[in-house]
Amino acid sequence: MTKLRFFALLLALAPAVGLAAGGAKLEHSGTDLGDRASLQRGAGLFMNYCAGCHSLSMQRYSRLGEDLGLSQEQVERFLIRGNAKYGEPINTGITAGDGEAWFGKAAPDLSLVARAKLGGPDWVYSYLKGFYVDESRPLGWNNTVFPGASMPHVLWELQGIQRPVYDVDAEGQAHLVRLELVKPGRLSPAEYDRVARDISAFLQYVAEPAALQRESVGVWVILFLALFTLLAWLLKAEYWRDVH
């Protein structure tokens, strides 16, 4: 019973302290679905750096255009790679078989990843910031929130190269405590954070496109309720004037 309670408490606390499955702390991404420019940048970054391996098969280019306020021409010019059509879903050029042959694992479809992972966009954000060099891995990269991931750090030229810093405990066990930037990338750490945030926001939107409408409908509902409250209050004042 006490054990059960303990686990219930742990479960309740896990999201609060941001525990990922691997035990690494997640960083707060600060994504904002109301920030259309951020979503547009995220879409562009995704098409440039991620779509070569990952598909978003539950999302069509046309829907992307409508939701992000881009014309068909802009989508075709800036987002579509290869000869995909505007009405088609976002598919990657490589097959699952190629992915397995090249990386030991097929790159999964990312349509729902920002909802599937505990922590959602914070997981994606921490993942994109969590790559470090590890010569024991086949591609030379490892990741703090996804230990043993078979994805290379595709944004290393932007972020630079991070090395792990270990702390040895009383039992002689080494624990990774933080990452250290040993070779700066093209971007400053703050600029790279924004890149990671924009991609995370974009994947958050893709995982639930209706959230955009819900947020904008929400504003009108609140405005309506505020107006209605005012009307009801004026009406009450009017009625009570006769009573007094």
Annotated binding residues for heme c, as ranges?
50, 53-54
- DSSP code of residue 157: H
By the rule CB under 6 A, 199 interacts with ligand HEC:
yes
Footprint (CB under 6 A) of ligand HEC, residues 105-134:
105, 107-108, 110, 113, 124, 127
57-146-92 Cα angle (round to 5): 20
Backbone angles phi, psi at 64, to 5 degrees: -55, -45
What stretches of 104-244 show up as alpha helix (H) in DSSP? 113-116, 121-129, 156-159, 189-207, 210-243
Instruction: Please state the closest distance from residue 98 (CB atom) to ligand HEC, in A.
Output: 10
By the rule CB under 6 A, 196 interacts with ligand HEC:
no
Among 54, 129, 153, 197, binds ligand HEC (CB under 6 A): 54
35/72 with CB nearer ligand HEC = 35
Task: Count residues binding ligand HEC (CB under 6 A).
Answer: 21
By the rule CB under 6 A, 26 interacts with ligand HEC:
no
Residue type, 160: G
Instruction: Please state the closest distance from residue 109 (CB atom) to ligand HEC, in A.
Output: 8
From CA 216, how far away is CA 94, in angstroms rounded? Answer: 36
From CA 47, how far away is CA 90, in angstroms rounded? Answer: 9
Q: Are 200 and 130 in contact (CB under 8 A)?
A: no
Q: Which two tokens stand for residue 90?
A: 């976002």
14/112 with CB nearer ligand HEC = 112
Q: Contact residues for ligand HEC (CB under 6 A)?
A: 49-50, 52-54, 99, 103, 105, 107-108, 110, 113, 124, 127, 149-152, 154-155, 199
